[in-house]
């Protein structure tokens, strides 16, 4: 029977747009500004640039090579690059990214909700009637009312899942490509517009100084480098396995080096605009620099859904700035969620499911497994911690797959289809990734133990090492136990070598 | 805004924009 022809992006620009939309997520808007301001501004940006060259871009290239050459999702790609015995590594990568997907839809739902409320004028209160001595601000009241209403949190989580299911259901060209193109253009236009507005506000220069003027003394602190490498690893999507899946639908011999560079550098560039928007607005609108600093120290949720809501409400033009800001956040969140959803769908399709059935299954599972995060922010924080750090392991596994395949062979493959020849640097960087992993991973574990000296081992504590070890251990045990099933269940790709059993059967039948 | 701040904004935003622009130009002109 003839195999159905594999779907494909319409061209090189389409896959670049999809990959940039994948990388640019909510973290660019609510993490990057906070971290950059805290860790030395321009000095941090220099450290991030180095992290892009040493960690993010080489890993994106590894993923691009694995997906586009194996033409299979993560499980199949690891099987064909590392050997059947190591198919579990692809399974682990899928488990980590799906772990993130289960709460990311909830976060995307928050953004959609805030956009909807802002668009209806619900985030621009009449400040003249607000009590001057109110101990709880308008933003805090809004957030408390929302997060404690399960109908709303589960409802908006469901909205994010239903929309994404519909997009992925339509396929690569008819669904993802069509939607992501519009999302990315709208997102970039809004961020640039709001950043330009923020820069022109009187007083914004104080915030911009935090972001751009280097505090060179910070480069001597190891923490700055660790934060920069963590930012580069999480924000660009390197090691998530998402680029691997998008490149499955690339043309045969798709260019790798330049495409990966565009994704990584664009991600940081968008982060800079978002940071100019957030920090410029904060320092221009906050009544005192101390309040601006408090907002930066308030974490992702505190900054975005409480302080920014309060501060934008006091600005002229809040009726349009507020919905635009949350629309940007929603577009960034949903476009990254689409990539995670596609990862789950593609891997399921490799087991013989039709796209539409696979998308529906992933939609139902994503909705059900997202409910605990929708109901409990503590649970969501735990999942963010466990699978966020788990991404570093996925990054390591990707590098190990390329080392097993042959790093020089991979470099030659990349150079053969690339516009610029950077194979030598790629080979060097990939060899260094396990070392970078050990430092980064060790630091996160050390930090967890240091911050929870009495409870670091306890799996029931949100940010403990014990909870990570337990949940990774369960995922690892599961994929190791299922290794043979995964290796044999995934369809064959152009690089697939026959299993020993199949080879024996073939030689047996040839002998007859 | 003081001159130092303007310089660093141009350095980082301009530098990154140039890199992304150059890579996009290579991508769009390439026959790959």
Nearest to B23 among A253, A258, A273 (CB): A258
- What local confidence, expressed as pLDDT, does residue B14 receive? 97
Is residue A512 very low, low, confident or very high in pLDDT (cuts 50, 70, 90)?
very low
At residue A133, does pLDDT exceed 60? no
Nearest to A208 among B9, B11, B23 (CB): B9
- What local confidence, expressed as pLDDT, does residue A2 receive? 45
CA distances A297 to A37, A181, A307, A483, Å, are 10, 34, 11, 44
- What local confidence, expressed as pLDDT, does residue A505 receive? 60
> What is the average pLDDT across A154-166?
98
- What local confidence, expressed as pLDDT, does residue A319 receive? 93
Q: Which residues of B touch A214 (CB under 8 A)?
A: 8
Query: Which of A51-55, A135-139, B2-6, B27-31 is least confident?
Result: A135-139
A to B CB pairs, distance under 8 Å = 64
Whether A258 and B4 lie within 8 Å, measured CB to CB: no
- What local confidence, expressed as pLDDT, does residue A23 receive? 97
CA distances A490 to A270, A342, A350, A373, A402, Å, are 37, 16, 5, 30, 20
Q: What is the pLDDT of residues A101-113, one digit of tens each?
A: 999 999 999 999 9
Interface residues from chain A to B (CB-CB < 8 Å): 12-13, 16, 42, 45, 205, 208-209, 212-214, 253-255, 258-259, 261-262, 265-266, 268-269, 272-273, 417-420
> What is the average pLDDT across A410-433?
95
Asked whether the beta carbons of A227 and A44 are under 8 A apart, the reply is: yes
Token pair listed for A162: 């239903």
ipTM above 0.95, yes or no: yes
At residue A182, does pLDDT exceed 50? yes
Token pair listed for A401: 């797959």
Q: Which residues of A touch B8 (CB under 8 A)?
A: 42, 212-214
- What local confidence, expressed as pLDDT, does residue A128 receive? 60
pTM confidence score? 0.94
Highest average pLDDT, of A223-232, A332-341, A492-501, comes from A332-341
Give the list of residues 6+ apart from residue A164 with CB closer than 8 angstroms, or none.
Answer: A105, A334, A337, A338, A341, A363, A366
The pairs formed by A288-295 with CB atoms below 8 angstroms and a separation of 24 or more are A289/A206, A292/A206, A292/A207
Q: What is the pLDDT of residues A282-320, one digit of tens each?
A: 999 998 888 988 999 888 889 999 999 999 998 889 999
Give the number of residues written for chain A.
512
At residue A132, does pLDDT exceed 70? no
Asked whether the beta carbons of A169 and A360 are under 8 A apart, the reply is: yes
At residue A479, does pLDDT exceed 50? yes
pLDDT averaged over chain A?
Answer: 93
Distance separating alpha carbons of residues A54 and A413, to the nearest angstrom: 20
Q: Which residues of B touch A253 (CB under 8 A)?
A: 32
């Amino acid at each position: 029977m003839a195999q159905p022809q594999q779907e494909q992006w319409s061209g090189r620009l389409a896959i670049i747009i999809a990959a940039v939309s994948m990388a640019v997520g909510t973290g660019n808007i609510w993490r990057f500004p906070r971290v950059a301001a805290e860790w030395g501004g321009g000095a941090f940006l220099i450290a991030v640039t180095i992290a892009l060259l040493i960690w993010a871009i080489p890993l994106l290239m590894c993923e691009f090579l694995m997906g586009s050459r194996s033409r299979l999702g993560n499980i199949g790609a690891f099987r064909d690059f590392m050997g059947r015995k190591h198919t579990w590594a692809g399974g682990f990568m899928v488990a980590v990214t799906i772990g993130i997907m289960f709460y990311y839809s909830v976060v995307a739902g928050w953004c959609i909700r805030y956009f909807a409320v802002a668009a209806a004028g619900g985030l621009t209160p009449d400040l003249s009637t607000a009590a001057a001595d109110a101990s709880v601000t308008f933003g805090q009241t809004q957030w408390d009312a929302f997060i404690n209403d399960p109908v709303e949190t589960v409802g908006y989580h469901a909205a994010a899942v239903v929309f994404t299911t519909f997009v992925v259901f339509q396929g690569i060209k008819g669904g993802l490509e069509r939607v992501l193109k519009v999302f990315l253009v709208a997102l970039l236009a809004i961020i640039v517009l709001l950043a330009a507005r923020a820069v022109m506000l009187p007083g914004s220069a104080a915030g911009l100084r935090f972001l751009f003027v280097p505090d060179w003394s910070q480069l001597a602190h190891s923490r700055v480098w660790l934060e920069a490498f963590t930012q580069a690893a999480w924000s660009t999507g390197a090691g998530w396995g998402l680029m691997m899946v998008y490149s499955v639908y690339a043309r045969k011999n798709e260019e790798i080096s330049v495409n990966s560079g565009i994704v990584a550098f664009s991600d940081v560039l968008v982060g800079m605009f978002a940071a100019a928007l957030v920090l410029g607005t904060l320092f221009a609108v906050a009544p005192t620099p101390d309040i601006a600093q408090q907002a930066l120290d308030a974490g992702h949720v505190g900054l975005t859904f409480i302080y920014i809501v309060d501060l934008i409400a006091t600005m002229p033009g809040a009726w349009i700035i507020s919905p635009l800001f949350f629309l940007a956040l929603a577009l960034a969140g949903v476009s990254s969620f689409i990539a995670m959803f596609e990862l789950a769908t593609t891997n399921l399709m490799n087991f013989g499911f039709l796209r539409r059935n696979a998308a529906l299954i992933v939609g139902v599972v994503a909705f059900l497994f997202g409910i605990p995060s929708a109901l409990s922010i503590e649970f969501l924080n735990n999942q963010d911690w466990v699978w966020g750090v788990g991404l570093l392991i996925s990054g390591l596994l990707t590098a190990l797959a390329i080392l097993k395949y042959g790093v020089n062979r991979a470099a030659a493959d990349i150079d053969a289809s690339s516009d610029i020849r950077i194979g030598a640097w790629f080979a060097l960087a990939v060899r260094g990734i396990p070392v970078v992993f050990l430092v980064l991973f060790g630091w996160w574990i050390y930090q967890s133990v240091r911050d929870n000296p009495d409870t670091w081992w306890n799996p029931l504590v949100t940010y403990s090492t014990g909870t990570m070890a337990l949940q990774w251990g369960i995922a690892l045990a599961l994929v190791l136990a299922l290794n043979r099933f995964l290796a044999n269940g995934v369809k064959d790709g152009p690089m697939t070598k026959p299993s020993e059993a199949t080879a024996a059967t073939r030689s047996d039948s040839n002998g007859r | 805004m003081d001159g130092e701040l303007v310089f660093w904004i141009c350095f980082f935003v301009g530098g990154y924009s140039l890199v992304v622009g150059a890579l996009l130009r290579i991508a769009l002109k390439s026959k790959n």
